Structure 1
Amino acid sequence: MQPGSLFAIYSLFWMLTLFAVLPWGVRTSDEAGQARAYGEADSAPSNPMIKRKLVWTTLISAVLFGLYWANYDFGWLTIDDIPGWGRGGTR
């Protein structure tokens, strides 16, 4: 597989994982017992912990991408293994 393709697929894994990780541990100012700043949305997190979430996103997406790449190389699951999608299937 080309390096550009690998990077693009990893980037997709990373972005999807980021959106899954962003809500982890979010507490609003009201839940944290802090006063809200003027103009702050009710749902705004008091401490978003972005650096920690970026690290988790990178680790999780690396594992997922590693599984994807291993499946690509070893062929554990192919399109023929999915009922209705393989050769001779009705789609």
Structure 2
Amino acid sequence: MRWQSALAIWFLFWFLSLFFVLPFFARTSDEAGVAKVPGQADSAPVRFPFARILLWTTVVGTALFGLFLANYIYGWVTADMLDFTGR
């Protein structure tokens, strides 16, 4: 695998991990016990820890990419194993 392909796949895992990580850091004003600002949506987060989300997204995305790369190198799960049509 060329490094450009690996980088593109890592970015896909990183972006997918962003959606896994985001819900863990979203605290609404009701959960935090803080008064709402007039006009604020009920689901709006109290604060947005941008650096923390980027860090955890990078950790999770890199771990998932590591598993993908190890499978690519060692062939633990192949396309033939996932063919359930019986051909």
TM class by shorter-chain length?
Answer: 0.7 to 0.9
Kindly report which structure 2 residues correspond to 1:13-52, keeping only aligned pairs within 5 A, or say none. 13-52=13-52
- 1:11-63 deviation per Cα after TM superposition (whole angstroms, max 9, x unaligned): 11001100011000421112212122233211011022221111111011111
Secondary structure of 2:84's match? coil
Higher helix share: 2
What CA RMSD, in Å, does the superposition of the two structures yield over aligned residues? Answer: 1.6
Q: For 2:83 and 2:7, how far apart are their aligned partners in 1?
A: 30
Q: Is 1:65 matched up with 2:65?
A: yes
Choose between structure 1 and 2 for higher RCO, CA contacts under 8 A separated by at least 6 residues.
2
Q: For 1:23 and 1:7, how far apart are their aligned partners in 2?
A: 26
For structure 2, the 5+ residue unaligned runs are: none
**Normalising to structure 1: TM-score of the pair?**
0.83
Aligned length: 87
Overall identity of the aligned pairs, in %: 51
For structure 1, the 5+ residue unaligned runs are: none
